[in-house]
Structure 1
Amino acid sequence: MTDPQALELAARLAREAAAAIMAARRAGVTVARKQDRTLVTEADHRAEALIVAGLRAATPEIPVIAEEEIAAGRAERPGVRFWLVDPLDGTRDFAAGRDEFAVCIGLVEDGRPVLGAVALPATGEIFLGQVGRGAWKQDAAGRRPIAARRPQPEGLIVFASRHHADDPRLARYLADLPVARVLHAGSALKFCRVAEGAADLYPRFGRTMEWDTAAPQAVVEAAGGSVRTADGAPLRYGKPGFANPDFICRGAP
């Protein structure tokens, strides 16, 4: 399977998972806690089962690392190429009735995301990116190219985590920057707004996992932006335990 075909596969499965999540939402959300005390819903499980089955059927040679399988102790070993799946990024917001949740399907090669699809089920948007080829947004109006923007004279539009809004590290980081506005939101939505040129910066201080970031990082980088650690190093994948360091997502330089 070529990378463009893999991207279309990820887009299709993200769209189908988004529909399953919205159907589960209409039926009523039942929330449980995993062993690490984070939230999980039936929608997480339904979406992951759909995505994982589709990836393994179409690309049996590529390992699949999926959030709920990891939580259940069923982990494949990453290869040179492997899929990273977050079936419902932003479960807290989903459970709270907010619209800031996403489906994330990314493909990693040699430790870097090479392509990804991010669906925003509540808005009907899907963001696609293949590094070196381009990025696109698909919604009711069709599919069209997107690009990250350069900083504007009036100042930076910054997205920050809703659940880490009072982190003093964020305030220190932004203190010397020409910030016009700070918006708080959950999930990979923040990456998508940077990728489409609606925002300039998303700094993240605090724990995230590789399945949270692989797909949206691919979209941002395909759109001409960047995602690097707070120290300026590439954000790598396949790390022991799959936990990320702090990172900074930026638009075009």
Structure 2
Amino acid sequence: MDTYQFALSMRTALYQCGQVARALQGQVTPENKAPDSPHQTSTEVSVVDRLCQEILLLRAQEVAPGVDVQSEELADCPPEILALFDRGPHRYALILDPLDGTGEYLAGGSRYGHMLGLLDQETGRMDCGMIYFPAAFRLYLGVRGRGAWVQDGLGGDLRPMPRCAPPRTVEDVKRLRPEDYGAFRRLGFGVVPPESASAAYELTRVAEGDLGAMAMRHFHGHDSAISSVIIEELGGLVVVEGGAPVRYDAGMPRMPLVVLSLDPEYAQGLAETLGA
């Protein structure tokens, strides 16, 4: 599969999700789903999550029907849509988070996004990742072996993302352990607060070089997977406890620890220390 052409073909669907989300913000009824584990603290969901999921799936079926499908709200997807995809197993899995930062969205915030990617199930690595922030009309795109780009505006050009030297900072993300903060101090990292409730937004801060690293404990795989290829294409590193390279499963289960940084030394040091 030409993953770059796949990504270009999926841009319009992300824009459509953004237009739906912007038009309906403040008009939808907040809902709550049952937590999937004791680690889950954010249970907000809405009809916008489901609508965006359907938009992305319908377009993906036209572009790449021969993929497996994993989405955060897949249990609520109409079976008629899922039936459009060829029966697997397939090499690639389409990974969707139709509305990342649902709590932010429902609260009237602007730092929510729509994201998708392609997982190579033979390697366990993401070959493509796309994140779109509709309030800013900004799209991030990474394709393994090809590069990472950013686009501003619905009709803007894709511009190569620069590789920036990040500060020695780590985010005070949920589910960190008390002893993690001591490890940060010993390693010389400053701890900074998050700017949003969206994992996608926070990880683009890592990709932009505004934030040094994120150490994510017990997050679902899709929370870091789609951003991982963007960060890696910029020369960064994404690792699990002990410093081993990350490998994702198509089911995107929660992972004990994933560390992401543009600076491989930051990522390796944090993963080895926090995973000890």
TM-score bucket of the superposed structures, by smaller chain: 0.7 to 0.9
Q: Normalization by structure 2: what TM-score?
A: 0.79
Return the offset for 1:9. 2.4
More relative contact order, 1 or 2 (CA 8 Å, 6+ apart): 1
Residue 157 of structure 1, CA deviation: 3.6
CA distance in 2, matches of 1:231, 1:118: 28
Match runs of 1:143-162 below 5 Å = 143-151=158-166, 155-161=167-173
1:66 CA drift (Å): 1.2
Q: Quick check: 1:24–1:42 contact (8 Å CA) kept in 2?
A: no
Number of residue-to-residue matches in the alignment: 246
Q: Secondary structure at the match of 1:129?
A: strand
Secondary structure of the equivalent of 2:150? strand
Deviations 1:166-220 (A, max 9, x none): 7425423422233356131322111111112222211112x32223222211111
- Is contact 2:7-2:128 (8 Å) kept? yes
In the TM superposition, 1:1-253 aligns within 5 A as: 1-25=1-25, 28-36=27-35, 38-70=43-75, 79-109=90-120, 110=122, 111-140=124-153, 142-151=157-166, 155-161=167-173, 164=174, 167-180=177-190, 182-184=192-194, 185-187=196-198, 188-205=200-217, 207-238=218-249, 242-253=253-264
Unaligned 5+ runs, structure 2: 37-42, 265-276
Bigger fraction of residues in strand: 1
Residues 83-134 of structure 1: per-residue CA shift (max 9 Å, x gap): 1000011112212222232211010112110111001222221110012211
Aligned-residue identity in percent: 26
Cα RMSD after superposing both structures: 2.6
CA 1:142–1:241 in 2, change beyond 3 Å: closer, same or farther? Answer: closer
* Counterparts of 2:56 and 2:68, CA distance in 1: 13
Distance 1:77 1:209 in 2: 23
Q: Which amino acid aligns with 2:34?
A: Q
Quote the Cα distance in structure 2 between the aligned partners of 1:160 and 1:16.
Answer: 33
Residue 6 of structure 1: how far off its partner (Å): 1.0
CA separation of 1:53 and 1:234: change in aligned 2, threshold 3 A: same
| Alpha carbons of structure 1 residues 88 and 2: separation in structure 2 relative to 1, 3 Å | same
Distance 1:175 1:7, change over 3 A: same
C-alpha change, 1:183 and 1:63, in structure 2 (3 Å) is same
SS at match of 1:8: helix
Shift of 1:136: 0.7
| Runs of 5+ consecutive residues of structure 1 not aligned to the other structure | none
For 1:231, what is the secondary structure of its paired residue?
A: helix
Q: Secondary structure at the match of 1:30?
A: coil
- Aligned partners of 1:107 and 1:214 also within 8 Å: no
Residue 29 of structure 1 aligns to a residue in which SS? Answer: coil
Structure of larger gyration radius: 2
CA distance in structure 2 between the partners assigned to 1:86 and 1:171 by the alignment: 29
Instruction: Say whether the 8 Å CA contact 1:113–1:217 is kept in structure 2.
Output: yes
Are the counterparts in 2 of residues 201 and 250 from structure 1 also a CA contact under 8 Å?
Answer: yes
Closer, same or farther: CA 239–85 of 1 in aligned 2, 3 Å: closer
Q: Are 1:159 and 1:201, in contact at CA under 8 Å, matched by a contact in 2? A: yes
